[in-house]
């Protein structure tokens, strides 16, 4: 919040240009340097903010620098984590709580949220992520 205030009040030179992560439970913090903008990233290189410009319909986006893709279905639906966990248990390791389900299979990890959004880690290929989503979560 303080970094946003520096920018909004006209003092961008005061920003430290890093991401701060605070773990209030363990009283730990760390500073993450995001590195230089990625030349092939639509947001970093071209200033296109696809996530902010999304309209109704399926949406997916490469999560720059994280080897992950986020997929959001066009029609959000509430996911029954217990049923999904039972269905996925034969295909990999499954853990879930009231808020999300984590599923590991091979080199991939999927985090599924209550509204069926999912983050697929282990790939930056859109077709691979969509295929995994369709196979394990559904269309």
CATH 3.30.310.10 fits 37-136, yes or no: yes
Segment 79-96 shows an average pLDDT of 95
Give which of 70, 33, 32 is closest to 50, Cα–Cα. Answer: 70
Phi-psi region of 90 (alpha: psi -120 to 50; beta: other; left: phi over 0): alpha
Q: Are 133 and 119 in contact (CB under 8 A)?
A: no
Terminal Cα-to-Cα distance of the chain (whole angstroms): 37
What pLDDT digit, counting tens, does each position of 16-62 carry? 777 777 888 889 888 888 777 778 777 777 887 766 665 555 678 88
Handedness of CA 40, 46, 47, 53 (dihedral sign): negative
Tell me how long the chain is.
Answer: 139
pLDDT over 70 percentage in the chain:
92
Q: Are 63 and 119 in contact (CB under 8 A)?
A: yes
Domain residue spans of the chain: 1-35, 37-136
Q: Are 62 and 124 in contact (CB under 8 A)?
A: yes
pTM equals 0.59
C-alpha of 9 from chain center: 30
């Amino acid at each position: 919040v303080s970094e946003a205030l520096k920018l909004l009040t006209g003092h961008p030179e005061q920003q430290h240009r890093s991401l701060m992560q605070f773990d209030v439970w363990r009283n730990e913090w760390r500073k993450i340097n995001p590195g230089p903008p990625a030349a092939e990233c639509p947001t970093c290189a071209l200033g296109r903010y696809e996530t902010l410009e999304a309209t109704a319909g399926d949406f997916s986006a490469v999560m720059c620098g994280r080897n992950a893709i986020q997929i959001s279905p066009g029609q959000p639906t509430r996911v029954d984590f217990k049923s999904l966990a039972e269905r996925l248990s034969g295909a990999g390791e499954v853990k879930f709580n009231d808020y999300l389900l984590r599923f590991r299979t091979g080199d991939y990890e999927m985090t599924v949220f209550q509204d069926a959004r999912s983050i697929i880690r282990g790939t930056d290929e859109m077709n691979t992520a969509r295929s995994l989503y369709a196979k394990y979560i559904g269309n």
